[in-house]
Structure formats: C-alpha cells, structure tokens
Amino acid sequence: MKIFIVGNSIASISAVREIRKWDTKSSINVISKEALEPGMPYYSPVVLPYYIEGTLSKENLFSIRDDFYRYMNVNLKLGERAIKVDAKNKVLMTDKSEYKYDKLLIASGASPRLPGIPGERNKRVYVLRTYEDAEKIKSDDSKEVVIIGGGPVGVESALALLRFKKRITIIEIAPYILSTVFSRRVAEMIERQLIENGIEILKEEKPIEISGNPVKSVKTNKRKIKCSSVIIGVGVVPNVDFVSGVLKFGPRGGILVDDKMRTSEPDIYAAGDCIELRSVIDDSIRPFPVWANAMETGRVAGANIVGKNVNYEGGIRVNSLTVFDKVYFSIGDVYDEEKLRKEIKGDGVIELYYFERNRLIGAEIVGDVKYAGLIKSVIRRKVKINIDKFNGFRDLIGMTAPSSKPVKIFEQSLL
Ligand SMILES: Cc1cc2nc3c(=O)[nH]c(=O)nc-3n(C[C@H](O)[C@H](O)[C@H](O)COP(=O)(O)OP(=O)(O)OC[C@H]3O[C@@H](n4cnc5c(N)ncnc54)[C@H](O)[C@@H]3O)c2cc1C
C-alpha cells in the first residue's frame, strides 16, 4: 500500500509511528513545504519561544533527526508543497510532482491568522509558527516591540523577548488576555505577573494600523505606540487550500473528520490543527489547535489507515503556560464562572474545577501540572463525581481505570 502524508509535524510523526507499529511493508511518503537544513527535518513549534529566548539550543530544538525517518522507513520530501488532490483518481499533486496514493493523510496544520489591518505585511512585522519565523524574531534587534494579541503565542513571545531588555507592549482586544485558554480570574493572575515584570498590557484596545516600512508605530482606537517591530499572534487558520472543493469542512473552516479521522472522501484521513471534530465535552464540532490533540488524532488516523478500527474519544483543549517560576494549566471548558463548583487552595497550589451537573468539564491548576493527564482522563471518561465530597486532584486517582495511559508523560516525550 502507498501511504502519503502531507505535513511533517506532530500529527504526521504520530501517524507514522502508529502505522509502523502494525505495518512494516507499506511505503510511507511524507511531504512538507518547509525546506529545512539537511539532517534537521523536525522541530516542535511549541518550544520555539525557548529557542528565541536562548534557553533551547538549535540542536535540541530539532528533536527528531534523519535516523527516525530511516528507522521508520519513511521517504521524506522536504521543500515540496501540496497544491491539489484528485480524490476520484487518488492523486496528490505538489509543486514538484504528482503521486498516486492508496491512503492519504492530511496533517498540514495551521498558519497564523492576520488581523487584516494596513501595514501588517511591512518589514519587521512578524508571526510565530515556524523555525523561519523564530529565526527572524531572534535576529531582530529592536528595543521596542508591540505584540498584537494576548493569546498564548503573544504571551509566550513577550516572555521570550523580556530577557533581551526590550520594551514590550501587548495589545489585547478582549477585557483580559488569554481569554480562549483561561478563566478571567486565572488570566488576571498571569496579567499581574507580566505587568510586575515590566510588560505593558493594553486591554479592550483594537489595533487599526501599523505605520512605517520598516515599522515605526502601531495605531490603536485609543493611541499611537512607538515601536520598531511587531509580532502578530491573533490565532490560526487551518492549512487547507489544497483540498478546497474536495473535502467537507466544519463551521470554522477546518477539515471535517469523524471519530476515526476519516474525511468526507474515502481513503483520505486528516489529523491535527487542520481538522474540526467532535468535542468530548458537548459533542459540538470545533477545532482543537493544540499539541495533544494533534498527537492523538495523528495516532488514531495512523491506526485506521492500517485498518485497526480505532475511535477517538473526542477533542479536548489542553494548555499549559509557565510564567517565570509559576506553571498554569488549563483543560476543557473553563469560561463560565457559574460552572466553577469547586475551589481548593493549599501548598502554593490553586485548583479550580468546572462541572456540568456532576460531570467534570474543565479544570485550571495553578502551581502544579502533575495530575494533568489524570484530569484529562476523568473528563474524557465522563466520570460522575459527588461535588460535595470532592477534594481535588488526589481524589481523581481512583476514578480512572488501571489501563488509563500516562497521558502527560507521553505528551511531553516528543517536545
Ligand atoms: C509558539 C507556539 C507555541 C505553542 N505552544 C503550545 C502549547 O504550549 N501547548 C499546545 O498544546 N500547543 C501549542 N502550540 C500549538 C502546537 O504547536 C500545534 O497544535 C501543533 O504543532 C499542531 O501540529 P500539526 O501536526 O497539526 O501541524 P503543524 O505543527 O502546524 O505542522 C504542519 C505541517 O504541515 C506542513 N504543511 C502545511 N501545508 C502544507 C502543504 N500545502 N504542503 C506540504 N506541507 C504542508 C508544514 O510545513 C508542517 O510540516 C504552539 C504553537 C506555537 C506556534
């Protein structure tokens, strides 16, 4: 069987591992548009801020080397872009060639969204998604940086640049930063930490224009901020142009997949940040553009490609953020304060648990991420909990079956 995979990030790597677990004969061909240096074919975007900051070396950033592809017997084609798929004749077209496939996996991820303001493509305006983006930010010597968007990428970029003694201003359109990841309460704890360390945060403010080429200032609805570089971090859009008109899409533009990662066309699967799938919490169809989801859906796609009949339990959002010495962890739906039914404080750790009736649907832990995998497992298994008697993550230990996987340890293994 000829298997083709578009993309060479975590969803793809995870699928390759799973395919090879069961099938050593099929040919696996991985195509990725990024032309990276020979011998260094893979890095995780998650750790790019540490590379910018200088705490992660280039050698350690490129955490999977050529020997992985040799060992897995993968034909890797870097610097080649998928441009079209002919699903009827099972042909993948790239900017260099055409390939007949038996099974195709689309693991093309996502790209930074641009806000659509004048000047957003000017010199010294950056986004952060790829190694090339990180190199550009790392080599920029500006002393005054404006970050548009107070989401995870904006905040991590700010933290990475702080050690270079730059003046950093974050512009956030919402009333608080990190609003897609944390509750207002936890987000405001993070905000306080950032402000104490010299980062300026302008909330409920809308950037209108980036002036100068190279950049000289950013104009918002309230003021003009002088700066010599800008980083835009306002979310992502799935990389799906090459299957437009071929596959069905979800409400937010990602490839629609079922629980087996099958798309609307036979023998075409999709995984990672380019998909939309059923949420484990409320069955709604949504994107889950996070690392763990990409890794797990890649694994499920890989298993089904080789006929293993594996179902995914559903998507769930998981994020963690380390701000200096403090770690903040968030999972599931944590946005409705009325659903915050349990709050536990002690030993420098704060635990917040969100419930829908007696079912855990989300949690935030400040100061400890040890039990992240366990919390995820309890949410996924829809375990019924007696809220009055519930005393935090230690109580969760007995609630999952002994076979539950050590999710956190596994998730970290490819960083
Ligand atoms: C700075 C940063 C920090 C992050 N931090 C976290 C975090 O703390 N926790 C977390 O859960 N997630 C985090 N993420 C998100 C995480 O990186 C993504 O969820 C994950 O990388 C998605 O993996 P993926 O395999 O779906 O796709 P991607 O990593 O987006 O990779 C897509 C692959 O497809 C290739 N490709 C795309 N289009 C084509 C085409 N037409 N032809 C050929 N190849 C193509 C690309 O070159 C690439 O190899 C972070 C992301 C960034 C940028």
Sites in the chain below the pLDDT cut of 70? 398, 400-415
Q: Is the fold of 2-46+59-111+236-305 the same as that of 325-400?
A: no
Nearest to 131 by CA among 49, 50, 66, 48: 48
Tokens of 63: 């955490």
Q: Which amino acid is at 311?
A: N
In this structure, the residue with its CA closest to atom 30 of ligand 1 is 109
Q: Note the pLDDT of residue 401.
A: 53
- Helices within 81-202 (DSSP H only): 131-139, 152-162, 184-196
For ligand 1, the distance from its centroid to the CA atom of residue 301, given in whole angstroms, is 17
Closest to 160 in 3D by CA, of 60, 48, 44? 48
CA distance 306 to 15: 10
Q: Considering only CA atoms, which residue is closest to atom 50 of ligand 1?
A: 46
Structure tokens at 394: 């230690």
Distance (Å, rounded) from C-alpha 163 to C-alpha 144?
Answer: 13
How many angstroms separate the CA atoms of 185 and 265, rounded?
Answer: 44
Q: What is the pTM of this model?
A: 0.94
Q: How far is the CA of 370 from the centre of ligand 1 (A)?
A: 25
Identify the pLDDT of residue 412. 33
- As its CATH architecture, domain 125-232 has 3-Layer(bba) Sandwich (3.50)
Cβ distance 307 to 145 under 8 Å? Answer: no
Q: Calculate how far, in angstroms, residue 31's C-alpha sits from the geometric centre of ligand 1.
A: 14
Say how many Å lie between the CA of residue 290 and the centre of ligand 1: 8
What pLDDT, on the 0 to 100 scale, is given for residue 400? 62
Spacing, Cα 339 to ligand 1 middle (Å): 31
Q: Which of 16, 30, 32, 415 has the most ligand 1 atoms within 8 A of CB, as the residue to mutate?
A: 32
pLDDT in tens, 213-226: 999 999 999 999 99
Written as one letter, the residue type at 183 is S
Decide yes or no: CATH 3.30.420.250 for domain 2-46+59-111+236-305.
no
Query: Among residues 44, 46, 50, which one has the least CA distance to residue 12?
Result: 44
Which atom of ligand 1 is least distant from the CA of 14?
A: 25
Q: What are phi and psi of 51, to 5 degrees?
A: -70, -45
> Structural domain boundaries of the chain?
2-46+59-111+236-305, 125-232, 325-400
Per DSSP, 272 falls in state G
Burial zone of 402 (CB within 10 Å; 0-12 exposed, 13-18 middle, 19+ buried)? exposed
DSSP of 305-332, one letter per residue? HTT-------B--EEEEEETTEEEEEEE
Q: Give the distance from CA 296 to its chain's centroid.
A: 12
The residue whose C-alpha atom lies closest to atom 26 belonging to ligand 1 is 272
**Using CA atoms in the order 83, 86, 89, 95, what is the torsion angle rounded to 10 degrees?**
-10
Residue owning the nearest CA to atom 39 of ligand 1: 108
CA dihedral over 278, 179, 290, 245, signed as positive or negative: positive
Among 47, 290, 316, 410, which residue has the most ligand 1 atoms within 8 Å of its CB, making it the best to mutate? 290
Q: Probe ligand 1: pick from 4, 10, 74, 412, max atoms within 8 Å of CB?
A: 10
Residue 403 confidence (pLDDT)? 44
Strands (E), 181-314: 200-202, 207-211, 217-220, 224-226, 229-232, 236-238, 255-256, 268-270, 275-278, 285-286
DSSP string, 190-206: HHHHHHHTT-EEE-S--
Q: Estimate to the nearest angstrom the gap between the alpha carbon of 406 and the chain centroid.
A: 20
- Distance between Cα 273 and ligand 1 center (Å): 7
In this structure, what are the phi and psi dihedrals at residue 202, rounded to the nearest 5 degrees? -105, 115
Ligand 1 center to 223 CA (angstroms): 34
| C-alpha–C-alpha distance, residues 405 and 401, integer Å | 9
Residue position matching structure tokens 């599931």 = 332
Q: How far apart, in Å, are the Cα atoms of 74 and each of 59, 190, 313, 364?
A: 22, 43, 28, 39
Nearest Cα residue to atom 48 of ligand 1:
7
Strand-by-strand arrangement of the 2-6 sheet = 74-78, 27-32, 2-6, 103-106, 268-270
Q: Which atom of ligand 1 is nearest to the CA of 10?
A: 25
Question: Atom 27 (ligand 1): residue with closest C-alpha?
Answer: 109
Identity at 186, one-letter amino acid code: V
Q: Decide: 252 and 283 in contact? Cβ < 8 Å.
A: no
Nearest ligand 1 atom, CA 272: 26
Which residue carries 């699967």 as its tokens? Answer: 269
Of the CATH numbers 3.30.470.20, 3.30.870.10, 3.30.390.30, 3.40.50.300, which one belongs to the domain with range 325-400? 3.30.390.30
Ligand 1: distance of its center to the CA of 143 in Å?
28
Atom number, ligand 1, closest to the C-alpha of residue 49? 1
Residue having the nearest C-alpha atom to atom 29 of ligand 1: 9
Q: Which of 138, 210, 136, 199 is nearest to 167 (CA)?
A: 199
Query: Residues near ligand 1 with C-beta < 6 Å?
Result: 6-12, 31-34, 45-46, 48-49, 81-82, 107-110, 128-129, 152-153, 156, 239, 242, 272-273, 289-292, 294, 319
Dist. CA 137–CA 74, nearest whole Å: 32
Ligand 1: distance of its center to the CA of 45 in Å?
6
